[in-house]
Structure 1
Amino acid sequence: MMKTTGYSGRRSSSRNSKYRQRGAVSIIVAASIVLLIGILGLAVDAGMGYMVKAKLDAATDAAAIAAGEAVTTGSNQATQSANAVTAAQTFFAANYPKGYLGTTVTMNTPSVAFNQGTITIDTAAQATLPVSFMHLFGFNLLNVASSSQTVRKDLDLVLIIDTTGSMATDSAVPPAVRSAAITFLQQFDPLTDRVSLIHFAYGTVVDQPFNGNARGFDMAAMTKSINALNFAGSTNSEEAYWNALNQLNTVITQPSSLRVIVFFSDGAPNSFASIFPTINKTCGLTAGTVITPDKKTPLPPSGLYADNIESQALPSPCYSSNASNVITALPTWYNAHNTSWLNNQTIPVITNTPRVVTSTVNYANVNNAARNIAEGMANVARNEGTYVYAIGRGSELLQPEGANNEIGQNVLKCMANTTDSLSRCYNPKQPVGVYCSALTPSDMTPCFSKLASEILRIAK
């Protein structure tokens, strides 16, 4: 009995211990379930908050971008500011649907600040999200906030328009050029952006120069000049580039944070201006005379077109179908202009790269020199931090031509420093431009719009 009793006592003690362990485990499990539910609920509510935050960020970003584009429209700052606010609110509403995930959202009135040509726009919004599980921990709402800022940089823009004779071979081209160019300029702010208009053929005319350091431009005057353009002559692209750089470097002494040259042409360069070292004196011209459209130095320089075609018809007995009868040698350097910002030895004429040019006056040398100089001018612009964009008109730019049977489009891409330009041209350390091909007249407006959008993008 004693053994039985002793055995029974030990067994009873073990059973009670197990019951106590089971009770403790139940409490731990229950507590763990509550904790896991809380963690799960926290994860669910946090995930919902993350989704709201992402949507709110996208909406404020869209609002800021839209405001940056809309702020360029209007004849005064009050109107521009109102347009920016309206665009921001419209785009925010479009990107953040009312009642998204049960939230209540509030968008602050955007702030629009003008400061010497730079416009800063701030957008902000808050959303309140009802929680599902976090109220177990004393939270009933989750507040999410977002803000975004866009800075519209001040801009110096030179628009260069090719008015050579080849532009008029199709009667639909001139009106399409005028319409596309006017629409392009309307995308910019006439109060804060500085814009210069240039057209060129064998010579160059600055139709609308910069107004010194004063901000803004006269859209009505721009429109009048564009509508008055006539199309005739050969392609002296580098003279247009020189005038563009002269506008940016001398007319303006306080440059904007963003400088852009937009170059529109239907062909690669084929002529250039220069002070030629030796000239046939029977023509009444002496060494050092700059060849110009009417043979007088005060006018914009013109240039040679080919060995058998002279772009300026010199008076009898000087006119000759062979340019080498008048100009006996090409200059060593591009020297049509002597300026402090472009030393006359910056761009060589006689060179082995990128195209070979000797001093002999013939078609190959004149054609190659013209292209080298134009690419050199564009390189000078990019070295100064200026973006160069180009539009090429017509399918002729896709056909081999010139002294080396080059594709004209490649020359324009080299000027713009596009990522798909020739390997010898692309320089990732310089501003990377954009090239757009307008094969038909109807392609011009989309191309100009593409460039305007890109300029406005980098202006932010």
Structure 2
Amino acid sequence: MRIPYRRQDGQVLILVALCAIVLIASVGLAVDSGLGYLVKAKLNSAVDSASLAAARSVTLGDTQTEQAANARQSAKEFFNINYPDKFLLSTPTLNPVGVTFDKGMVTIDVSATASLPVSLMGVLGFKTLDVAASAQTIRKDLDMVLVMDTSGSLNGNAKAVRAAGVSFLNKFNTTVDRVGLLHFASGVQLDLPIKPVNRGFDRTIASTAINAFNFTGGTNSSEGMWQARSQLNSIEQINRSSLRVIVFFSDGSPAAFSSYFFPGSTTCKSTGTIATLTDKPGSASPLRGLYRMDATDTELAPTTSCDVDKLTTLPDWYNMQNDAARTYSATVREFPIVTTTPRVVTNSLATPLLEWTNVHRASRNLAEAIATKARQEGIFVFTLGMGASLTAAEGPDAEKGEDLLRCLANTVDAPSRCRKAAEPVGLYCYAATESDLSPCFTRLASAILRISK
């Protein structure tokens, strides 16, 4: 009678052993899977960084062979930085980086694997746990205008702004990308017109222009945005790139805009920019004067009938033709100055407070309206702001300058009054100090490169 009992006891021992093995394997699976998840996350981040770095570096070089070599080298360097050898005892392997050129578009393919030694899963015969990751960045041909604020409030940061602007343009391809450059203060100057037919841009001319920027004058954001849109739209539809972008840099809220301020006059034929002060006025008139629209800080010479002091009303419309001379047109009705939305603007300049209020509000309204029109035409707007002024409440409605920049870019966190879900979504980056400026420009460049087919 004892023999069956022993057999049953042996079976129990076998079952216990099997349960122990299953339990150990289950624990091992949980532990090793957790480590594998961490390795996978690290590997994903490394190949993504490598792919973006390669896409940025593919702009360097005069031939496709040189460009591909620079892309692969950058991919390798960024992968090694972002995935250190022996991370959680794993061994990474970066596969050959694919760089494919196709009619103005470059596709970067980066993939990698990592082998992780297992712990308790070894009881099931496993030696290593292998994970893989891949990333693709499609660098499309690009039409882009860089708009730089050179108002007087940036004078103390001139060196950093110039260096960041030059560095930003170095991330784009001089033979594939079309790039235009302009800067604004009270007025606007076009430094590098965008090519209407051929691709590419002259990096030397652009860099030389940026390094010669003088920082003086007011902040006429709407004219900077208008000129950027005009440059992109000067390219005929058949020649346009699939990706069109405005990159807009500024340090504060606008307090100036351009128009014809004496449209009915037979003697005052010049366009001009009206500018006001940032601070709320006292008893004195806040208008600083009328400025040339094609120069950053040149006041129009007053005449008997065309002096700023003779102004009694603002024009109803942003009333200029889309031509090189920006000539007056009584029929242009695209962007209103006098309006009830999004900010109420009347044409009255009857008191210093009305002048200050209407000029401030019109400056903001016009910048937002022109950016909205650009986005409706398929143009992405990316904005970059620097300095404490952007986070301070200014103007008649105590608005933050960074909220305006969010509206221009149509970011997901833009104020509800300007958020347009159906329009292209850009990016706003805030540089609190000079040291944040170059990383912000790099972030914008990476965001542009992320926009795929």
CA drift of 1:228 comes to: 2.5
CA drift of 1:241 comes to: 0.8
Aligned equivalent of 1:303, options 265, 268, 273: 273
SS where residue 209 of structure 2 aligns? helix
Per-residue CA deviations over 1:54-91 (Å, capped at 9, x if unaligned) read 41553254134224224433223323322332333344
The equivalent of 1:87 in structure 2 is 74
Give the 3 Å change call, closer, same or farther, for CA 257–20 of structure 1 in structure 2: farther
State how far apart, in whole Å, the 2-side matches of 1:107 and 1:251 are: 41
CA drift of 1:426 comes to: 3.9
The 5 Å alignment of 1:161-310 reads 161-164=148-151, 166-167=152-153, 170=155, 172-212=156-196, 214-251=198-235, 253=237, 254-275=239-260, 278-281=263-266, 284-285=267-268, 289=269, 291-292=270-271, 302-305=272-275, 308=287, 309-310=289-290
- Long gaps (5+) in structure 1: 1-15, 293-301
- Does the CA-based 8 Å contact 2:49-2:82 persist in structure 1? no
2:90 aligned with 1:107: no
The equivalent of 2:279 in structure 1 is none
State how far apart, in whole Å, the 2-side matches of 1:87 and 1:188 are: 15
* TM-score of the two chains, using structure 1 as the length reference: 0.76
Give the 3 Å change call, closer, same or farther, for CA 85–372 of structure 1 in structure 2: same
Amino acid at match of 1:59: L
The 10-residue stretch of structure 1 (34-43 or 194-203) with the greater mean CA deviation from structure 2:
34-43
CA drift of 1:101 comes to: 6.4
CA drift of 1:159 comes to: 1.4
SS where residue 107 of structure 2 aligns? strand
Give the 3 Å change call, closer, same or farther, for CA 456–214 of structure 1 in structure 2: farther
State how far apart, in whole Å, the 2-side matches of 1:238 and 1:182 are: 23
State how far apart, in whole Å, the 2-side matches of 1:67 and 1:163 are: 34
CA drift of 1:37 comes to: 1.0
CA drift of 1:117 comes to: 3.8
Q: Percent identity?
A: 34
Amino acid at match of 2:418: C
- Does the CA-based 8 Å contact 2:43-2:132 persist in structure 1? no
User: Root-mean-square deviation (CA), in Å?
Assistant: 3.6
Looking at CA atoms only, which structure, 1 or 2, has the larger radius of gyration?
1
State how far apart, in whole Å, the 1-side matches of 2:381 and 2:41 are: 33
Aligned equivalent of 2:359, options 366, 370, 388: 366
The 10-residue stretch of structure 1 (371-380 or 75-84) with the greater mean CA deviation from structure 2:
75-84
Give the 3 Å change call, closer, same or farther, for CA 50–216 of structure 1 in structure 2: farther
CA drift of 1:186 comes to: 2.4
- Does the CA-based 8 Å contact 2:254-2:364 persist in structure 1? yes
* TM-score of the two chains, using structure 2 as the length reference: 0.77
The 10-residue stretch of structure 1 (218-227 or 42-51) with the greater mean CA deviation from structure 2:
42-51
- Does the CA-based 8 Å contact 2:429-2:440 persist in structure 1? no
The equivalent of 1:459 in structure 2 is 449
The equivalent of 1:450 in structure 2 is 440
Q: Relative contact order, CA 8 A, sep 6+: which one is greater?
A: 2
- Does the CA-based 8 Å contact 2:106-2:139 persist in structure 1? yes
The equivalent of 1:298 in structure 2 is none
Give the 3 Å change call, closer, same or farther, for CA 275–80 of structure 1 in structure 2: same
Per-residue CA deviations over 1:341-365 (Å, capped at 9, x if unaligned) read xx94442222112222223355243
2:127 aligned with 1:147: no
SS where residue 359 of structure 1 aligns? coil
Give the 3 Å change call, closer, same or farther, for CA 107–26 of structure 1 in structure 2: same
SS where residue 371 of structure 1 aligns? helix
